[in-house]
Structure 1
Amino acid sequence: MTAYRTDLKNPDVYAKEMPHEAFDDIRQRCPVHWQPEADGPGYWALTRHADVMAVSRDSATFSSALGTTQIDEFDEEARLKQAAMLINLDEPEHTRLRRLVSRGFTPRAVKQLEGHIRDICERTVDELIEAGRDGAVVDFVPIVAAPLPLEVIAALLGAPAEDVGRLYDWSNRMIGWDDPEYGSTQEDGELAAAEIFVYANEIAARRRIEPCDDIVSALVCPDENGDTLTEMEFCMFFVLLVIAGNETTRNAITGGMQAFMDHPEQWRRLQREPELVPNAVEEILRWVSPVIGFRRTPICPAVIGEQSVERGDKVVLYYPAANRDGDVFEEPHRFDVGREHNPHVAFGGTGVHFCLGAHLARLELETMFEALSRRLDRVEPAGQARRLRSNFVNGVKAMPVRIHPRQD
């Protein structure tokens, strides 16, 4: 059992940069290593791709419900508040709920959004070019990265366009309570969740009376077996979608553009070979790893790699570390839009908790980067990006840039 000098739980670490040097060192010295906590019992940090994959696949041993999927400890009352959320369920409850909510994420349902997503991306690039006229400095995050996933979520949920700002505020308050710039607290994050509950109930009530061809109608109406989501299940899924569907895609877009600014030769390659957009999106997901880590809790003694763990131990899967594992990825610290072997775990690895919205997220990212690379000659940094103070989301709050549209 080896403790390491970098406190992987400290949000200040991630506010500076993703600690890839520390992850590499840990992976080489002790890939399943013991991380002490000042405010908790300590936990096992997984930094190797094989271990992250193995634990992700073994949901029978490694529970998402026993201690939730969050790194922090919760009292029983707080834990029960999260118990109806899909990511915090084990079998058989997880199977039932995922089967019901997956009705809104079928290929047909996602396909229906394709034209709308393309329109959003083209309009967003129009607004970016207009805001950046004459060399004006613009913030890439609120102009480009934030609107797309928020507008898609609004379309999915049948929410009016004017409510996009409310979704943005709720999401920031729920994931940004560790960051003083947001002026939020854990209590305010819980209040934001409560506000979403009320909002979700209003939308669900309307769809029960007047169903239409959208995800909310699919979720609140009984399936072929007569099963339907309870009010609590629907509201918790709504909360999850506002966070997961927004924060991950928003930060993948921002982090992807940061990667292209840091590696301009890859931007030029993408412009020369637009057929590489799907490959580029997979590389962006690997490179950025928008979710830093999820927790699992063994329900019985187990072995991870060569390390024994006990029932009730906290185990944290670090996706950015797994996505830079040199045993899996050739030159893992090289950003390469042509990378062919790319079994990244940005969507949580394999297993029953693989991201339900992965196909939709890929569609959003591919459409956005196709539009950006086609219409912009280049994007250059115009100041230091400000990172989110969070040990959960690999986020960027602001990224000042200058825009150079294509002239042809």
Structure 2
Amino acid sequence: MGERRVIHAITPGDHFSPRTGSAVPTVVHLLADAAVRAGDARHGVILDRTTMSPRYEGVDLIEYDRAPGVTRSGQYLDAAVGRLGLQRPRVGRWFAPLADAVRGLPAADVLAHNAPILPRLLRGSGHRVSIYAHNQLFRTYGRREADRIVGEAAAVICVSEALADETRGLLPRAQRSKVAVVENPVDTFRFTPPEPRTADLRPVRVLYVGRMIPSKGPAVLARAAQAFGPDEAEFVFVGSHEFDPNAPATAYEREVRELARASRATATFLPFADRDALPALYRDADVLVVPSVWAEPSGLILGEGMASGLPIVASRTGGIPSVVGDVAVLVPPNDPDALAAALRDLIADPAERIRRSEAGLRRARQRDPEWAWTQLRALLDRL
């Protein structure tokens, strides 16, 4: 892949550890590992030295001391400055130590994960900088600012076609050709299906994994659970407000629990589980539900569920359909009745659950880390 090394720039404060469920470090880890298996050079990761340990192995870590973060009021002020076509000063100061850590390195392909300011900060450094968008980054950008930001980037890499389409719509016409898609890898090493279970009499176990926040939709599943009796299904909710199993429950989490308790079916709530604990939780389940109410750009949990052999019911929104194809049952977002009906159909049809499980396994194996790295490497070679 040419002579340029790949360096991942992770947002200050974000982690690079299996102890967190955050998408960015997980994707970086999977891509970097796949590169090594393919015989390509080890990737570098620029990382705030105060972040969580242990770190993923298999990369060259370049650490720096981060600057103070940007307050909410500072973000609003920066956005106002940006709309005048100027550089956002506060976020610039926040990213300056990261840019300084990169600037002196040999010329590389720098992937700025959720960091649209980095191409400008590294201007003239010899690095080729691409913006790697895991979420929509340009909603607060006017066309003039977006033109300047993207004009200095080699590419804008989006994790789904849905996110890419939305991004193109927010950019000036002259910059839209820089938008490309590299879909997220599925961790087919960590997540695998269980050994065949002997028949048991327990109800079908329905699993939710994710942060306990409104956009992820756990309340929608809790309301859907009210349609089931104790012999039909049991519901397991895994997650906390943040990536911390000891975090106190928020008012929203308490609301979700109250909604679930109104069901006659059993509902169990477990706190955030790190990546080492997740595979066993998937293997103990029978159906995975991803009830997002926002336009989820991709959703790593979908791939993990498919790789674990779980049939999936998910919201038809954002990049979810492109991840699951025709494998999952898709329902309208924020519609507990439609979700309950889809679950009832799956619960009543074990053969359909097996069919979707097998189809999901095939799709997961087609979207493994090697597949994703091949996409990314080909894109970087074209730049």
Same fold (TM over 0.5): no
Q: TM-score, normalised by structure 1?
A: 0.24
If each structure's strand is expressed as a fraction of its own residues, which one has the higher value?
Answer: 2
